[in-house]
């Protein structure tokens, strides 16, 4: 239904955000969280359906839909230019777009590897470069990359995904170091298992969620100490905090939102 969203508070009022991978899962939740805090959001996705529904629900004054492949630099640059011209100067970028090809390394194809890095790593680079250049010139802005706790803990069957997320994480930290004096902050949110279509695609039977929570010794994976799988909104709330002024002195940080699953010290 078309209509104005219910705004919880206005800490992001007047700010324009670009969210990649916005059509479903964590990306959709991030769009909703930012709109609820007063931001105008440009929702970008390679598939038009989800972002079109968001734009219809909230209306063009809150959400605009933009279809592009994040690995295509020309397409992303065109979207960024369009948003800056028609919506306003971007103050927030959230890199969410991602793909997962689960496979043992010895069975991993060149195509799986290349596509994983094209979206999960090159996509972060392409979008961040286009937006950060403009933010730095204005002396303000926030970039948040949604990574993964798999970037810091080895996972069986997830080598390409984990490596691509590790690269995106370090890229984002390096970007934050370079842009710190310009007033642009760059941080990472690293989810653990989250109830999304990507997560559910890994489940092979009804007991799979319980194994995620309890752990699986056969794959050298510990469970989740908090005893629950995250909802997309849990990740989105962490993103919303990092792009707000409440996090104004936080940059180059990697915030794990995984219920303690990685046992990080």
Strand pairing partners for 261?
A: none
CA distance 113 to 105: 10
CA angle 98, 100, 102 (to 5 degrees): 170
Contacts of 131 (CB under 8 A, 6+ apart): 18, 80, 90, 93, 141, 143
Contacts of 133 (CB under 8 A, 6+ apart): none
Contacts of 120 (CB under 8 A, 6+ apart): 97, 98, 99, 161, 164, 165, 167, 168
Going 209 to 262 to 237 to 14, the CA torsion angle's sign is: negative
CA distance 60 to 209: 38
Q: Is 256 a catalytic residue?
A: no
Q: Which of 58, 161, 220, 256 is catalytic?
A: 161
Which residues have a catalytic role annotated? 161
């Amino acid at each position: 239904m078309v209509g104005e969203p219910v705004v919880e508070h206005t800490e992001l009022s007047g700010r324009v955000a670009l969210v990649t991978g916005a059509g479903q899962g964590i990306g959709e939740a991030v769009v909703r969280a930012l709109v609820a805090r007063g931001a105008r959001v440009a929702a970008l996705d390679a598939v038009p359906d989800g972002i079109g529904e968001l734009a219809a629900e909230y209306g063009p004054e809150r959400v605009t839909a933009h279809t592009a492949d994040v690995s295509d630099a020309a397409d992303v640059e065109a979207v960024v230019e369009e948003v800056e011209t028609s919506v306003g100067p971007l103050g927030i970028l959230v890199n969410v777009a991602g793909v997962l090809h689960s496979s043992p390394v010895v069975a991993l194809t060149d195509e799986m590897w290349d596509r994983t890095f094209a979206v999960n790593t090159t996509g972060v680079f392409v979008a961040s470069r286009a937006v950060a250049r403009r933010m730095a010139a204005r002396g303000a802005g926030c970039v948040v990359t949604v990574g993964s706790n798999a970037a810091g803990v080895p996972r069986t069957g997830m080598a390409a995904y984990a490596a691509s997320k590790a690269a995106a994480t370090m890229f984002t930290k390096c970007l934050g170091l370079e842009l710190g004096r310009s007033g642009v902050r760059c941080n990472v949110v690293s989810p653990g298992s989250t109830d999304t279509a990507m997560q559910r695609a890994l489940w092979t039977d009804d007991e799979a969620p319980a194994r995620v929570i309890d752990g699986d010794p056969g794959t050298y994976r510990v469970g989740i100490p908090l005893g629950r799988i995250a909802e997309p909104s849990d990740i989105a709330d962490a993103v919303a905090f990092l792009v707000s002024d409440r996090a104004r002195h936080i940059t180059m940080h990697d915030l794990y939102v995984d219920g303690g699953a990685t046992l990080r010290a």
